[in-house]
A and B are shown apart, each in its own frame.
Chain A
Amino acid sequence: MTAPREHGAPADIQSGDAVSGTHPVQVHRYKAAARINHWITAASLILLAVSGMSLFTPNLFFLTGLFSGGQWTRTIHPWIGLVLFFSFSLLFVRFWRANLPVQADRTWLAKIGDVLRNRDDDLPELGKYNAGQKFVFWSMSALILVLISTGIVIWDQYFSPFTTIEVKRLAVLAHALAAIFAICVWIIHVYAAIWVKGTFSAMTHGVVTGGWAWRHHRKWLRELVVKVDGSKAAEIPHPHSATGPSSSPRRPS
C-alpha cells in the first residue's frame, strides 16, 4: 500500500525510497513489505506457469509429478491463482502510480536500439521505472485480469453451472493464450534483471547502489537526494518533474 505521501512529492517515489550513505551511496528501493509481496507473487506465478504448462502440452505432463500427480495439479492450480491475484493486486496498488507513462518514456523508447546496445549515455533521465519496466507492469496487470476471469470460468469444480460450454471453450482458449503471453512477459522481466547488473539486490535486500540508480533512474535518484535534504530542494534541478521546483540546471557547489 502506498503510504501517504507529502503533498507534491513526485509520483515515482514510493514509501521507503531513500538515499543513505555517501561513498558508496546506497539507495533504498523496496522496503521489506514490498519485497515479500513481490516474492509471493513471483512464487505463485512460477507455480502457476509450471502447473498450467503441464496441462497445456502432453510433453510437459510429467511436471504434474511436482504437485504429487494430475489430480492435485488440477485442484491446486486455481487456488494458487487466487493467491497470485490478491498478491498482485497489492503490488498493483503499491506500484501503479510510479508506472504511469511520462514524456521521457517516449524518448527512451525511440532510443530502444541504444538501450539494447548498452549505450546509456544518450538516454533521457528516468524516474523509478523505465518504459520497459512499465510495459512489464501494465501487461502483467492486464494478463492477470484475463487469467483470473477466464480461470474462474473454467474452474469446473465450483463454477461449472454458471456458464455454457461454448463460453468455457472460449475461456480455456483465452486462458491458454494469456498464460503464454504472461510467461513471455515473465521471461523478459527476469532476463532484464539478469542483463542489467545490480538489479537483483533491489528485490533481495531492497537496496541498490547509487551508481545503479544514477545510471538507470537518475531522475528518481535526484528526487530522493532532494528528499533527504529538503533545503537542497530549490537548488537541485528537476528537469522532468511537473511538481518539482524549476531551477537552473547548474548550481553552485
Chain B
Amino acid sequence: MFPPIPNASVAGEASRPRFSERDLVRRSASEVALPTTRLTEIAKLIDVTKCIGCKACQSACLEWNNLHEDIGYNHGVYDNPMDLTPNTFTLMRFTEWDNPESGHLEWLIRKDGCMHCADPGCLKACPSPGAIVQYSNGIVDFFHENCIGCGYCIKGCPFNIPRISKTDHTAYKCTLCSDRIAVGQGPACQKACPTQAIVFGTKDEMKAWAEFRIKDLKSRGFEHAGLYDPPGVGGTHVMYVLHHADKPSLYAGLPDDPSISRVVKVWKGVTKYFGMALMGAAALAGLAHYAVAGPNKVTEEDEDSAGSLATGRDLQPPRGHA
C-alpha cells in the first residue's frame, strides 16, 4: 500500500501556502521571470488496473469544488454525465473490450480529466494574460477573473479537456486541487479513492510506484502493462498505469501519442510573426511610396478638359484609341 498522506495539521504554520505566484513558470499571453528555485514536481498517478468504477473520486471532486451537475438521463451506460462539463472536471469513462489474445471481456475504466501537461497546449493557445498559469510543481491552473471565454484553450488542448461555462463564460477544468496541495493535502479524488487506484506524491515517487505496479501486473500476465506519461507533451503531472500501455486509445480514446497540434503551433507561432510583419510592411510601403512618388494631384488642365467635355467642346481624342 502506498503510504497515505497525513491529515492536515491544525498548526497555524501549516496553512501557509506552499506555492504562489512567485512559482510561475508559464503564464498565458505573458512573459514570466523564471523563479530561482523550483518546487519539486508533483504528480497524480491513476492506476487504471485497480479502479473499480465506484465514482467516489468523481463525487469528491464535485463536493470539494462545490460543483453541481444537473440531473441528467440514463443513456444505458455507466458514463454519467456523458462527457466532461464545466462542472464535471473528472469523469469515469467505461469501455468494454474483447481481448482477442486472452478471449476475456475486459472492463476498462479510465478517470478522464486534465493531465497537467508539462507543455500545456491550453496555455499556449490562450490569448488572455494570466488566464492560465503553470507552477514549477507542474500544476496548470485557470484564473477565472482573467478568462475571456474565447475557447482557444479547447483548441490548444490535445486531450479535449477544458469546457466553457454557459453561466459565467469562463473555462473550467481540473485544478489538481491546487488549493489543497498548496496546504500540503492531496487532491480530493485521491483522498476519496477506496482502492488506492489514485495516489499522489512527487513525480519521482509516482514513477517509482508505477514501476512497482507494472512489475506486479507483468508478473500476472499483462505483458504490455506500462506507464502513460506521454513525452509528446513533455510528460504529464497526471499519469496512468495501463494494462495495455501499447494501446492507450483502448481506454475511451486516450490519445496514443499526444502533442500540441501542428495547426495550433503554426497559428500561435509563425502566423503571429508573419502577420505582424506583413501588416507592418503594407503600412511602411505606403509611407515610402508617398515619400518617393508624392501625391497624385488633379491639375487645372484636368478640370478644364472635364469642363470642355461636359460642354461638348472636347477636342481630345480618347486615350488608348489609336
Q: Which residues of A are in contact with B by a Cβ distance under 8 Å?
A: 19, 21-25, 27, 55-58, 61, 64, 69-71, 73-75, 104, 107, 116-118, 120, 122-125, 154, 156-157, 160, 165-166, 168-170, 172-173, 176-177, 180-181, 183-184, 187-188, 191, 194-198, 209-215, 218-219, 221-222, 225, 228-229, 232, 235-237, 239-240, 249-251, 253
Closest 7 CB pairs of A and B: A210-B306, A70-B148, A211-B303, A211-B302, A156-B151, A58-B29, A124-B320
Partner of B263, one of A173, A183, A225: A173
Closest residue on chain A to residue B156 by CB atoms: A169
Residue of B nearest to A117 (CB): B293
Cβ-defined contact, A156 with B129, below 8 A: no
With A61-B127, A118-B293, A125-B318 already in contact, the answer to whether A23 and B307 are too (CB < 8 A) is yes
Residues of chain B touching chain A, judged by Cβ–Cβ distance below 8 Å, are 29-30, 127-129, 146, 148-152, 154-155, 160, 164, 169, 261, 263-264, 266-267, 271-272, 274-276, 278-279, 282-283, 286, 289-290, 293-300, 302-307, 309-315, 317-321
Interface contact B154-A104, CB-CB below 8 Å: no
Q: Give the residue name and chain of the B residue nearest to A228 (CB).
A: B310
Residues in chain A near residue B152, CB distance under 8 A: 55, 172
B272 to A, closest residue via Cβ: A57
> What distance in Å separates the Cβ of A203 from its nearest Cβ neighbour in chain B?
16
Chain A residues with CB below 8 A from B267, complex form: 169, 172-173, 176
Instruction: List 25 A-B residue pairs with CB atoms under 8 Å apart, sorted by A's residue number.
Output: A22-B307, A55-B150, A56-B272, A73-B148, A125-B320, A125-B321, A154-B155, A156-B151, A156-B164, A157-B169, A169-B155, A176-B275, A180-B278, A184-B279, A184-B282, A187-B286, A195-B295, A196-B296, A198-B297, A210-B302, A211-B299, A219-B318, A232-B312, A237-B318, A253-B313
In the bound complex, how far is the Cα of B304 from the Cα of A211, in angstroms? 7
Q: Quick check: B306 and A56 within 8 Å, CB to CB?
A: no
Name B286's closest neighbour in chain A (CB-CB): A191
Nearest-neighbour CB distance to chain A for B275, whole angstroms, equals: 4
A184 contacts B294, C-beta separation under 8 Å: no
